[in-house]
Each structure stands twice: as structure tokens, then as C-alpha cells.
Structure 1
Amino acid sequence: MEKEYLYKKWLNDELTPSELEAFEKLDDADLSQEILEEATRFKVPDHYHVDDFETFKAQKATRKETSTKVIRLPWLRKLSSIAAIVVITLGLYYVFTSQNQTTITTQIAQKETITLPDQSQVTLNAMSSIRYAEDTWSEKRELSLEGEAFFKVAKGAKFDVKTNDGVVSVLGTSFNVKQRDQFFEVICYEGLVSVTYNNQLIKLPAGNTFRLDHGVTTQGTIFGEGPQWINYRSVFSKVAVAEVFKEVERQYDVQIDFSNIDSTILFSGGFEHIDLTEALTSITGPLKMTFTKQNNSVVIHDTTH
């Protein structure tokens, strides 16, 4: 009677902890007998009939499914609980660790200025993003950059900007970092900037630049107190025209096809972020090229052939 009582409560998931412990101590034969008796209440196919427990065991032994291992539900329930705890723990870990990271992203033609916890300022160019840990910023001033940004760093501990191509380190200064595809450029406007690239340390005083363009590194000098793109004008000095057209795409909602030209031709000049036609004219005119526009698509043509 006690076994039947425990079994019925188990079916309804009403066992108390002490009753569950007693239920788990039932041997397999007792449990199978209870299951058999309970199963007689349900309709089964006519060809499947069991008269007694011994016949039930014989049929069970000869069925094709005998290779399938059966796990008793109370233990399965425990395993499920453990799995649920693991999933919840991993989920909480992801939530708490991801919440420590602040990510800011700009879209096409968008610029955004961000003030960091130490009052340093970052201005993001179009289609760029930074990521940093706000909670630990006072201990480690470090952020990751994808795209282009201008930095005005407050004086203090070392400030690191990590990109896919190199790491830029400063103590307090203003500088510009651009990392797009296979193009990486650092321009120092004030103070001293250190660039770590390919296990080499390159120091850039104010007015100096470092560039990595498709595996080729160069250094040079510049003039001015900051990048022109902050004032809605993109300026280039001996940059492959492919990168110039990609910058036009970032500043305007447009797709440019320059497959008909030599995209490695170097361009020096700039364009305004105001009117697309004027921007394209300022680029294609000096290079003896033309362009056609249709909706949000532009095709560049070479007129020298």
C-alpha cells in the first residue's frame, strides 16, 4: 500500500523530500510492478497483452528496444536541475561581464563626441565604434577602436587605444587614429604618441604621422590642430583612391562602383560632407574621371582610355 501511495504521489509530482528518498529506495522489481499495475488503467493495442509481472519481464527482455538504457525519472530530474543551474550561472556571468563593457557606435554620416570617465574626449567619425570598461577605467585607461576617432586625452596614467593593426599609447595628448580594412593611420597633433605595430615601437611627436597601407608603412608630417573630418571635410595626402571613395560611402548613404578604374591611384585633396555631387566632382575631376549617379548608386569611369 505504501508503494502504491508513493507511486501515485510521484506521478502527480507531490512527493515531499522524505517521501522522495523513500521512493528512490524502492528496488527495480517493486517499481516495475507498480508501473505495470498502473498501466492496466490505460488502453493499449490488442496485440500487446500482459497477464502478470513475469510475462511482462519476459516481453521486456525480448523487445528490440532492449538496447535502450532507461534512466529513472527522479535521477533525471536531478540532472535537469543541475543543468538548469549551470545554464543560469553562465547566463548571469554573461550579463554581468557584458554590462561592464560600454560600446558606442556611429552610423553613416554620423559623428559622435563621448566624454570618458576621466574627462578625456573621443569624437567618432562615421561608421566607427569604441568599447571600454567603465567600471575599471580608473585602474586601466584602455579602449578598443574600429573605424576612426579623434582623441583629446586628459593627463594621467597610460591611455591605450587598441585596434586590429596596432596599439596607440599616450599619457595626455590629442591624436587621430584610423583603422579601416587594410588601412591604419595615426596622426599626433599634440604631445607624444607611441605606436606598437608588428612588435616595433614607433614614437610620434606632434605633427608626425604613421601609416600602414596594405602592408606598406610610411611616416610623414602634417599641419593643423586636429583632423578636418570633425569640421565635415575629409582630407587625404597620397592615399589610394579606393579608400577615398570608401570614405565617401561612409559620409553619404551611397554605394560606389570603382571597378572600372585603377583604384590604386594616389589622391591628394579632399571633399566636403555637404553635397554628394560636389564631393564626387572634387575627387574625379583632378584624376580625369567621370561618374554617373542613379538613386543610391554611383559608377566611376576613367576618361583616359
Structure 2
Amino acid sequence: MKAQYVNYDAVALAQETDFIHWVRRGDHDADWSEWLEEHPEAKPEVEKARDLVLAMEFDTQEPTQAQVDKLWSTIDRATRDEAKVVPLWQRRRMSILAAVVATLLILAGWWALPEPPEIRLVTTTADQDIYELPDGSTVTLNAQSSISYEPQEWLRARHVELNGEGFFDVKKGTPFIVKTPYGTVRVLGTSFNVEARKGRFAAACYTGSVYVSAGSRSQMLAPGERIVAMGNVLNTDTFDKDKEAAWRAGMHYFEATNLQMVFEELERQFEVKVKLPKELADREYTGFFESGDLNAALEAICWPMGLAFELNDGKVIISDNS
């Protein structure tokens, strides 16, 4: 009996040959009964998986090429549907069509079919979206961000690659690993924010614990702790949970942050290009701006810094007004 079955949900179990043969033919009944006694917490998912298997009728004859092509076309459409954006007002919506079709294929014994491709989820300028991952975990991506993962490997290894910024709410289970060009975050089940842009790597723990690796250093973070790495400089401190990932609600907070980075964030949230004189780029800004109103956002940044701005045809020119 595979030890990892205890972490499987109903859809995953319904795709396991051993489980299917037990439900439909009674194979290894004693072993499964003993396993259920040892893991009573798994019974709800086992019952759901049993119902899924029993609800299906399958033709195990060798499929024609046309049938194979049609089924994979269905899987491709279903996979795109399941990996697409989950709107804020429909966060709990999910499709099981791909899982059902996959179960059909496995029960029919069609092992030689190709694996599904890597899935990549992307947000554009002035956009942020919530995506649901195969295990029910979610990620909210900030503007100009992306993640990618391999659905075929998900049950064995929950690995995603992130470029940009994302807030993850992870279901408990096997290790969940977020890889970025500048560092790696490893958790079991928690919520955390990760940013990886232009040499900057930051991770902030909201619940549970987060194991972070950046360069040659590694550290465990508790709730309310974060790590920020820029080049060879790595700092650990605490943060305000109401501000650190407030971008999800359209609020963007900065503390002693150089203006270059502040205006880069503004460019991501609004479809504009900012021209900032080099002599102003390293001046530090503490404050915030809000998504939605470009003029108000520019006023929030420029007024306390003694700066002026000119907005014309999607371009913003910043000048020193002091």
C-alpha cells in the first residue's frame, strides 16, 4: 500500500490503478481495509473516489486514433479551463472535467498517451488575478507576473516557478516549493508572499512556517517575519501584515524605498511609462499609492517628495519641483 495515498484527494485516488481494481474487482480488499483502519481521516476522500469510479462505465477496447485525438482535445480544453483565472467573485469555482477524462483513460489502460504540457499562468500590466492550482491551493499574482508548473508531476511534487510577485495560500500536503531566479521558498501548508524582480527577492510569512533559501543562506520564517535579498545583501525583519501584501486590495506601501522601484511598481499597476531623472532615482520614499486613479497615485508619490509630474499620452515625466 502506497504511503502517500493518505495525502490524495478523491480525484487523485480515482486515477490510481490499485484503487480502481479494489473498488471494481475487490483486489487486495484486506490491505485496503487495514489501511483505512490506520487512516480514518482518509475515509471521506475514499468514499468520494469510490463513487467517482463506480459512476463510470468504460469500454476497454483499443481506441481508434480519432477517439484518442478527440479525448486529448477534450483534455486540452478542460486543462485550460481549470488553469484559467478564478475571478474574485468566483474563487471557489473549479472544473473536474479534465480529471474525469483522465480517469477514463487510465481505466481503459491507455498508458502510452503523451503527458500534458507545462501550464503557465500570466498577468499583464494593470492586472492581478487569482488562480487555483490542482490541489486547491491558490495564488494571487500581481501585475506583470507569472507562474508555471507541470500538472503531470503535481501529485508527486508541488513545484511552481515564479517570476514577479505572488501571494500563495497553500493546502497542507506534500512539500510546496516556489522557485524564483533569486531564491526558493519551501512550505507544507501556509500562506506567504513572494517577490522576485530585477535582482530583488523577498518572502513574507503570514501563517504556518516558511523555509527560504537565497544564495548560500537559508532561514526559517515564522508568521510576521520576512526576508529581503538584494544582490549579496540579505536582511530579515518583521512586517505589518496589513501592508506587506496589501497590493491584493489595490494598496501599495513603501518604506524607505528608492523612487526607481516605486515608479516601476506604478508602471506595473497603470499602463504608463515613467521618465525619471537619474539624480532622483535613489531618493527614498515612504508612503503609499492606490490602484485605480493614476493622477491620485502620482500625487501621493510626488507631493511629499517635492516633485512635479506631467502626464501626456501614456507617458509620465517627473521633475524636481523643490
When normalised by structure 1's length, the TM-score is 0.66
Q: Distance in 1 between matches of 2:285 and 2:199?
A: 17
Task: Specify every segment of 5 or more residues in structure 1 that has no aligned partner in the other structure, as ranges.
Answer: 1-94
Match of 2:12 in 1: none
Match of 1:167 in 2: 184
Match of 1:224 in 2: 241
User: 1:303: how far off?
Assistant: 2.5
1:289 to 2:310 alignment: no
State the one-letter code of the partner of 2:284.
Answer: L
The residue matched to 2:218 in structure 1 has which SS? strand
User: 1:113: how far off?
Assistant: 0.7
Q: Distance in 1 between matches of 2:125 and 2:246?
A: 17
Kindly name which structure, 1 or 2, has the bigger radius of gyration based on alpha carbons: 1
Structure 1 residue ranges (4+ consecutive) displaced by more than 4 angstroms after TM superposition: none
Match of 1:89 in 2: none
Q: Distance in 2 between matches of 1:185 and 1:239?
A: 14
State the one-letter code of the partner of 1:104.
Answer: L
1:123 to 2:166 alignment: no
Task: Assess if the C-alpha contact under 8 Å between 2:214 and 2:229 holds in 1.
Answer: no
Match of 1:80 in 2: none
1:268 to 2:286 alignment: yes
Alignment of 1:145-294 (within 5 A): 145-224=162-241, 227-294=245-312
- Post-superposition Cα deviations, 1:156-206, rounded to whole Å, max 9, x if no partner, equal 111100000000111111110111112211111111111111122111111
Change (3 A) 1:184 1:249: same
Alignment of 1:66-145 (within 5 A): 99-145=116-162
State the one-letter code of the partner of 1:297.
Answer: K
Match of 2:86 in 1: none
Q: Distance in 1 between matches of 2:307 and 2:232?
A: 27
Q: Distance in 1 between matches of 2:148 and 2:253?
A: 26
Q: Distance in 1 between matches of 2:293 and 2:312?
A: 15
Task: Assess if the C-alpha contact under 8 Å between 1:260 and 1:300 holds in 2.
Answer: no
Match of 1:8 in 2: none
State the one-letter code of the partner of 2:248.
Answer: I
| Number of equivalenced pairs | 209
User: 1:290: how far off?
Assistant: 1.3
The residue matched to 1:285 in structure 2 has which SS? helix
When normalised by structure 2's length, the TM-score is 0.62
User: 1:96: how far off?
Assistant: 5.1
Q: CA RMSD in A?
A: 1.7
Task: Specify every segment of 5 or more residues in structure 2 that has no aligned partner in the other structure, as ranges.
Answer: 1-112
- Post-superposition Cα deviations, 1:265-296, rounded to whole Å, max 9, x if no partner, equal 22221111011111011111121111111111
The residue matched to 2:241 in structure 1 has which SS? coil
User: 1:298: how far off?
Assistant: 0.5
